[in-house]
Amino acid sequence: MSGTQNQNLPVRQYAPQYRQILSTVFDAKKAFEGVLAPIQALDGVQFNAKAFSVKTNVTPVVVGTYSTDANTAFGTGTGNSTRFGQMTEVIYADTDVEYSYTLSIHEGIDRYTVNNDLNAAIADRLKLQSEAQTRQMNKRIGKFLSDNAGETKALADFSEDKIKKLFNDINAYVINTEITAPIKAYVRAELYNAIVDMASVTTAKGASVSIDTNGLVKYKNVTLIETPAQYFAEGVLAIFAPDGIVIPFVGIQTARTIEAQEFDGVKFQAAAKGGTFILDDNKKALIKVTGTIV
């Protein structure tokens, strides 16, 4: 019997819709928005562990000196020496990026009990599942940023002098590390409010602060972004980072609805794998601030 027979029952494939909705919802609701590049979402992934490969190069740069010795490339060195010094061979390596977590959907929609149009119910579930999975990904990304931060600063309390010192220390680190991209700070609400309430944050010093809107766009040349506490790793108060240095990705193996035999309706199923990637070179641009909320 052919494997494509289905008793004249419809089988719907929702993978493209699922990918589109997930990407749209993620881009609209993702935490740590600036630090993340656009989510990479693929349908029908074929590899069990590998998501993609990147070409990396660990060959150090050697700055030599030009020789003007009479017997280098000339004289007794003719044919067996060079005035440019030793030659460094440049080689790139392929580095595999692996998936680090899985996602799944398994729901049933019975025509007798759903009390709605079947296709409308499926569309609703696609959107709601995408929202729930986006929140899970936000938490994973928060932990990923914490685990891969190249620098950690501790904040003992939310007093004004401690916050000033924190931002001054981070500014010095950014300058000395030669991080040239603009930095954004993703901060918990408690820290954000403490910065807004500081006595030194005044219009007299050029601060665009508004108590009416509880707003402060920047502090010490760092853009401030309030971020929900549940998306930070435990003990982390803030993440400082430039834009676009972390890549989130999801590989959708299947997303489908199939007619059920156990009830008059359909099963909504999906299986996907995801992960997050950052180049080792860019980890130094991730700065986490640790402390305790009192």
User: Once rounded to an integer, what is the mean pLDDT over residues 222-245?
Assistant: 95
Residue 44 is assigned to a structural domain of this protein: yes
Q: What is the band of 206 on the pLDDT scale with cuts at 50, 70, 90?
A: very low
CATH code where residue 244 lies: 3.90.1690
pLDDT in tens, 66-104: 899 999 999 999 989 999 988 888 888 888 889 999 999
Q: Is residue 80 part of a domain?
A: no
Range of the domain at 271: 11-57+93-290
**Tens digit of each residue's pLDDT (9 = 90 or more) over 157-196:** 999 999 999 999 999 999 999 999 999 999 999 999 898 8
Q: How many domains does the chain have?
A: 1
* pLDDT score of 202 more than 70: no
Please indicate, yes or no, if residue 229 is contained in any of the structural domains: yes
Q: Which residues of 65-98 are buried (b: 16+ CB within 10 A; e: fewer)?
A: eeeeeeebbeeeeeeebeeeeeeeeeeeeeeebe
Quick check: is 99 in a domain? yes
Predicted pLDDT at 32: 94
CA distances from 48 to 16, 52, 53, 251 (A): 20, 11, 14, 10
Please report, as a single letter, which amino acid is at residue 155.
L
Share of the chain above pLDDT 90, in %: 61
Q: Is 65 helix (H, G, I), strand (E, B) or coil?
A: coil
Mean pLDDT over residues 108-118, rounded? 94
**Is 247 within the bounds of a domain?**
yes
What integer pLDDT is reported at residue 60 of this predicted model?
73
pLDDT at 65: 83
pLDDT band at 53 (very low <50, low <70, confident <90, very high): confident
Are 184 and 220 within 8 A, CB to CB? no
Q: CA 250 to CA 274: how far, in whole Å?
A: 4
Q: Is residue 71 part of a domain?
A: no
Domain assignment present for residue 63? The answer is: no
Q: How confident is the model at residue 8 (pLDDT cuts 50, 70, 90)?
A: low
Residue 191 CB neighbour total at 10 angstroms = 22
Q: What is the pLDDT of residue 1?
A: 46
Task: Give the CA distances from residue 94 to residues 20, 56, 57, 91, 146, in Å, rounded to whole numbers and listed in that order.
Answer: 30, 6, 9, 10, 26
C-alpha distances out from residue 54 to 57, 58, 93, 280, 294, Å:
10, 13, 8, 12, 43
> Does residue 3 lie in a domain region?
no
